[in-house]
Structure 1
């Protein structure tokens, strides 16, 4: 097991290094940066839904919360290190409280989806209604539908004047995604991760064995929210403005579509789905003949009908089938050669 884990880490680092070096030659780093951020956001939902069995319709709430926490803290502090930490901790803490209420309340999947959706709607409506001058946190005006612009963007820790932007910011985001991916991999291979997968498969059995199902689901839910908060903070630095659209239902729906298309129950699937569909949306945005929403809906329908497990599992199955056929052919060929020579 340890040898396999080390091999996976090495493979992940090598493949990531190759992609980080090659992709900027194909796509501009400005676009690549947001694709990486969306990949992290997709991974956050893929963790709690694909491995924890928790369908959250409000992952955009934690994404937007992380962005707003960063922007407000950056305006008041004037430096990015502490705001980045707060953007991870506060969405995680909020999700822990929300998750404890839901999971210890023994709510079923339908009600979990409804509550997370309602929380997203409440945040969206509230932030939209904060246009007045009375909605101020320290020196930061919430700005209502206009959002919060002009805050301190990412800088070298301890030097608020040394900004990280352009190509350097892409590399920071890419390395952050690799680190989060490795941490998620470690978490899923730990006893906590194996128990979480067991809860997804049969919650009643795991409860009868003696595990505190509600506590473990709450922790997993909070971890997913913390990752979404980090993605939100990185997005705020990329866009240099935060608006209520981060909490929109459209954003929540897109995250779910990313995971379905990429492949639930895999670590790589949500990242591939997020980056691929976001880039497709970017390309479609350069034309006005076809409605983007129509294309995205068509893509979802095609995948649900023909690739219900998602892109990454389908490619993996095809690869294993091809390798298996090759492996079976080799002994057969050897036997035929021996028979000829014999």
Structure 2
């Protein structure tokens, strides 16, 4: 049943996503586009951590690199396919190099989390200190703590830039296509190897699988997807700043995945959208501190619902037919 239900739900989500801009106001389109772009980031960690078992605390690093790479590429080469390829290739290459030293160096999972977080904070401080006019890549000024403004928006082959509705639709297509691609990848031999490594790394190695190579592939693909999300973010706001590498950003991604359900792909997306919406609503008042609420939410799910919302609901739905069958028997 799930084999039929999941493609059907993805098809419905795609159709609704493509039609939604025609029903929504411009401000709502901007708002939900931001939610969906962050959902791409959450999906990248859901793949790396949930499916590959790699505890990465620095997924924001690849997201930020994708945003800055798009900005630099679009300013120097125009907002076309070349800049898009750069925005995906740079974070993917960075993830590959970083992952090579971590996984082939047999670094423990806990230290991998620490290293990735430290790398994110290093990038934050590095970009933050590039405010002088000498800090440029080609024609693109990095801008330091002021960020990069006036970033060109992705354009059609004819030169017409995408409008907000088209960026919304593009983000929906990216999310659906990413879920389909990850699902198909997990059915291949490298994908099944990644699952085996997640379940029992020692046993997988004893069976002859190259654990380091498997982790490196997963980590690199996750970095590429996060970079694509960063590219969409830079297109959405036409602005990017060092805060994209901040500790708050890195922590939020972890919360999204934990709340939605680490072992699923849909869960982190729903958790991301729900928490962003709640954060925005809480930000309109001055009674409750937003970060305190997010901390309480994280503590609640870690202690009470560690599997996340979607696995919990799925488990309850599966138990109900079994309970009815046993009762009828």
**Residue 303 (structure 1) shift:** 1.3
Indicate conservation of the 8 Å contact 2:131/2:146, yes or no: yes
142-151 or 10-19: bigger deviation: 10-19
Distance 2:9 2:278 in 1: 27
Match of 2:299 among 290, 294, 301: 301
Distance 2:140 2:255 in 1: 34
Give 1:338's aligned residue.
Answer: none
Change (3 A) 1:39 1:221: same
Equivalent runs, 1:274-289 vs 2, <5 Å: 274-289=272-287
Distance 1:43 1:267 in 2: 6
Distance 2:21 2:234 in 1: 23
CA displacement, residues 165-207 of structure 1 (integer Å, 9 cap, x when unaligned): 2222211111111111110111112221111111011111111
Change (3 A) 1:23 1:241: closer
Distance 1:4 1:192 in 2: 23
**Residue 245 (structure 1) shift:** 0.3
CA displacement, residues 103-138 of structure 1 (integer Å, 9 cap, x when unaligned): 000000121111111111110000000001110111
Between Structure 1 and Structure 2, whose CA radius of gyration is higher?
A: 1
Give 1:233's aligned residue.
Answer: 231
Give 1:122's aligned residue.
Answer: 122
CA displacement, residues 56-78 of structure 1 (integer Å, 9 cap, x when unaligned): 11100000000000001111112
Change (3 A) 1:82 1:228: same
- Unaligned 5+ segments in structure 2 are none
Distance 1:82 1:101 in 2: 29
Distance 2:297 2:257 in 1: 13
CA displacement, residues 125-174 of structure 1 (integer Å, 9 cap, x when unaligned): 00000001110111000000011111211211x222x1112222211111
Match of 1:168 among 166, 177, 202: 166
TM-score, normalised to structure 2, is 0.94
Indicate conservation of the 8 Å contact 1:24/1:32, yes or no: no
Distance 1:199 1:127 in 2: 35
TM-score, normalised to structure 1, is 0.91
Aligned partner of residue 131 in structure 2, secondary structure: coil
Give 1:340's aligned residue.
Answer: none
Aligned partner of residue 29 in structure 1, secondary structure: helix
320-329 or 40-49: bigger deviation: 320-329
RMSD: 1.9
Distance 1:220 1:300 in 2: 26
- Unaligned 5+ segments in structure 1 are 333-342
Distance 1:128 1:155 in 2: 29
**Residue 19 (structure 1) shift:** 5.5
Distance 2:258 2:38 in 1: 15
Give 1:312's aligned residue.
Answer: 310
**Residue 319 (structure 1) shift:** 1.5
Indicate conservation of the 8 Å contact 2:151/2:234, yes or no: no
Give 1:81's aligned residue.
Answer: 81
**Residue 328 (structure 1) shift:** 5.1
Give 1:139's aligned residue.
Answer: 139
Aligned partner of residue 258 in structure 1, secondary structure: helix
Distance 2:54 2:224 in 1: 15
Give 2:271's aligned residue.
Answer: 273
Match of 2:257 among 259, 268, 273: 259
Aligned partner of residue 189 in structure 1, secondary structure: coil
CA displacement, residues 221-255 of structure 1 (integer Å, 9 cap, x when unaligned): 00000000000000011111010000111101110
Equivalent runs, 1:5-20 vs 2, <5 Å: 8-18=6-16
Indicate conservation of the 8 Å contact 1:80/1:152, yes or no: no
Give 2:210's aligned residue.
Answer: 212
3-12 or 252-261: bigger deviation: 3-12
**Residue 285 (structure 1) shift:** 1.5
Distance 1:116 1:261 in 2: 21
Distance 1:244 1:296 in 2: 22
CA displacement, residues 291-326 of structure 1 (integer Å, 9 cap, x when unaligned): 110111111111112211001101111121233344
